[in-house]
Amino acid sequence: MSLTVKWGRERLQIPLPPLDTKLSALRQTLSEHTHLAPDAFKLIYAGAIMKDDDAPLSAYKIRPGGTLLLLDSTPAASPSPMAAVAPKPPKTEASTIQVIQSELATVRGTLEPDVDAFLRTPTVDAEHTRLGELLLQALLRLDAINIDSTWTEARRERKGAVRAVQGVLDRLDKGWREAKAQAQTQTGSGPQR
Q: Would you list the domain boundaries of the chain?
A: 2-72, 93-187
What is the pairing mode between strands 48-50 and 67-72?
unpaired
What residues have CB less than 8 Å from 133, skipping those under 6 apart? 8, 80
CA dihedral 58, 63, 154, 161 (to 10 degrees): 170
Burial class (CB in 10 A: 0-12, 13-18, 19+), 47: middle
The answer to whether 145 and 88 have CB atoms below 8 angstroms apart is: no
- Per-residue pLDDT, 92: 87
Q: How far apart, in whole angstroms, are the C-alpha atoms of residue 21 and residue 129? A: 31
What residues have CB less than 8 Å from 129, skipping those under 6 apart? 8, 9
- Per-residue pLDDT, 80: 46
- Per-residue pLDDT, 96: 86
- CATH T-level assignment (fold) for domain 93-187: Methane Monooxygenase Hydroxylase; Chain G, domain 1 (1.20.58)
DSSP-based three-state secondary structure for 125: helix
Amino acid letter for position 30: L
Instruction: Tell me the pLDDT tens digit for each residue of 113-128.
Output: 888 888 888 776 778 8
- Per-residue pLDDT, 79: 47
What's the pTM value of the predicted model, to 2 decimals? 0.54
Q: Which residues of the chain have pLDDT under 70?
A: 74-90, 124, 188-193
- CATH T-level assignment (fold) for domain 2-72: Ubiquitin-like (UB roll) (3.10.20)
